[in-house]
C-alpha cells in the first residue's frame, strides 16, 4: 500500500506570497494532521482534521488554514508568507483508533 504522499517536495516562495501544500493519506485513513518542523527543532502541531471536520488547532496565526476533502486528502494554506515560515511541513494520517500516525516525507518550504 502507498504511504502518505505530499506535494510538492520542495518550493521556494517570496515574502508576502501565498502557498498551498497538499497531502494524500493512506487509503482508509480518515484523519490528517499537519505539523511544522523548523530546522533543529521537533515538529509543532498545526491542525488536525477528522471526517472533514477540524478536531484540533495549534498555536499558529490565522494566516494558516487547512481543509479536508471528501476523499480525505488535505490542503494546508499559508497566506502572507514570512521568513519564519521556512520549514519542513509534515502531514500525518491515521485510523484514529490505533493512535498511530503515519508521516509523509514532508514539503520543504523556503521563504526568501
Q: What order of strands is seen across the sheet that includes strand 5-7?
A: 5-7, 19-24, 74-78, 64-68
Residue with cell 521537533: 42
User: Is 64 near other proteins (CB under 8 A)?
Assistant: no
Rounded-to-integer distance, Cα 111 and Cα 21, Å:
14
The least CB distance from residue 103 to other proteins, in Å, is 4
The least CB distance from residue 110 to other proteins, in Å, is 14
Instruction: Candidates 24, 33, 68, 74: give the one binding other proteins (CB under 8 A).
Output: 33
The least CB distance from residue 15 to other proteins, in Å, is 25
- 3-state SS track over 34-50: EEEECCCCCCEEEEEEE
Q: Which residues pair with 56 in a beta bridge?
A: 48
Contact region with other proteins (CB under 8 A), list: 15-23, 62-70, 77-85, 98-106: 98-106
Strand 107-111 vs strand 53-57: parallel, antiparallel, or unpaired? unpaired
User: Is 4 near other proteins (CB under 8 A)?
Assistant: yes
User: Is 8 near other proteins (CB under 8 A)?
Assistant: no
- Please report, as ranges, the residues that interact with other proteins according to CB under 8 A: 4, 31, 33, 35, 40-45, 48, 50-51, 55-56, 58, 90, 92, 94, 96, 99-106
Amino acid at each position: 500500500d502507498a504511504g502518505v504522499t505530499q506535494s510538492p517536495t520542495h518550493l521556494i516562495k517570496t515574502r508576502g506570497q501565498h502557498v498551498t501544500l497538499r497531502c494524500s493519506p493512506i487509503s482508509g485513513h480518515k484523519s490528517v494532521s499537519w505539523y511544522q518542523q523548523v530546522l533543529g527543532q521537533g515538529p509543532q502541531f498545526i491542525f488536525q482534521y477528522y471526517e472533514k471536520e477540524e478536531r484540533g488547532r495549534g498555536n499558529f496565526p490565522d494566516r494558516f488554514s487547512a481543509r479536508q476533502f471528501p476523499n480525505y486528502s488535505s490542503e494546508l494554506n499559508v497566506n502572507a508568507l514570512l521568513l519564519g515560515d521556512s520549514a519542513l511541513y509534515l502531514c500525518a494520517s491515521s485510523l484514529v483508533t490505533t493512535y498511530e500516525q503515519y508521516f509523509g516525507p514532508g514539503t520543504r518550504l523556503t521563504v526568501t
